[in-house]
Amino acid sequence: MGAEAFFREQRAAFGHTLATQGTEATLLQAWDSFDGNVAIQCEGQPPVDCAKGCASCCALRVTALAPEVFVLADYLRATAPALQRHGIDLIGAVREADAITRGLDETARVAARRRCAFVVQGVCLIHRARPLSCRGHASHDRGACADAAAGRVDEVPYSGPHRMVRLLLQAALQAALLDDGKAWGAYELHHALVLALDRPDAQAAWALGEDPLAEAAADVEQREAMAAGFDEMGC
């Protein structure tokens, strides 16, 4: 199946799930689709070298869609008391990271070398619920990632299939959200989480068509072209 046919198929599937089962079910569907399609696309490719304990790429700017932000905000609220008993203040860490990185573009974000708030002892504490943008970032060479994070090299051999599947699935999910009358942009993760945590009715407002995360938007300049691209690919 070609890329455009895949996009159309996934857009329709996400639209159906959004209408019949809601946002969280659609997000789970997107994550499952990512895993399944990456496995297919990676057949015969060099192995990915990512491993638990390596978080070299987690100092890059992370963007997430609104459903991903709301799932994580719920997770943070639900797990905060238990984590605090173990001395982990994830909500505090998100706020601290946001205070340091808010408004930085991709280049400045990398230069700041500030790791994502969810990295604890080299491990992503939200690995199973990490955004699509993180899922699509896989490397064939951990050493090159460490060198890039330290500023020693510019190039890292990233996995093409992970990137392609992520881009297509994220676009299909965004198109389905657009079709459904929802805010469909990409948001800087930490800033968007702070907005969602500070406004308990944020998800309800989003479900009604508002954009309560607008202040954290990371893609405003590209949205018009993206929407036109969705239309073209949807033909």
Q: Which residues bind ligand SF4 (CB under 6 A)?
A: 55, 58, 62, 116, 118-119, 124, 126, 130, 134
Specify the amino acid at residue 21. Q
Taking residue 138's Cβ as centre, other Cβ atoms within 10 Å add up to 19
Closer Cβ to ligand SF4, 18 or 173, answer by number: 173
CA distance 34 to 72: 18
Comparison of 58 and 186: residue with beta carbon closer to ligand SF4: 58
134 vs 172 by CB, closer to ligand SF4: 134
Structure tokens that stand for 130 in this block: 């990490």
Structure tokens at 172: 């299909």
Residue 138 C-beta: closest distance to ligand SF4, Å: 11
Minimum distance of ligand SF4 from residue 145's CB (angstroms):
12
CA distance 85 to 81: 7
Nearer to ligand SF4, 145 or 168 (CB): 145
CA distances from 184 to 17, 156, 171, 194 (A): 16, 30, 9, 18
Which residue, 123 or 214, has its beta carbon nearer to ligand SF4?
123
Is residue 26 classed as helix, strand or coil in its secondary structure?
helix
Nearest-approach distance from CB 201 to ligand SF4, in angstroms:
25
The CB-of-61 to ligand SF4 minimum distance in angstroms stands at 9
Name the helix (H) or strand (E) containing 162.
helix 160-179
SS3 assignment, position 22:
coil
Minimum CB–partner distance for residue 149 and ligand SF4 (Å): 12
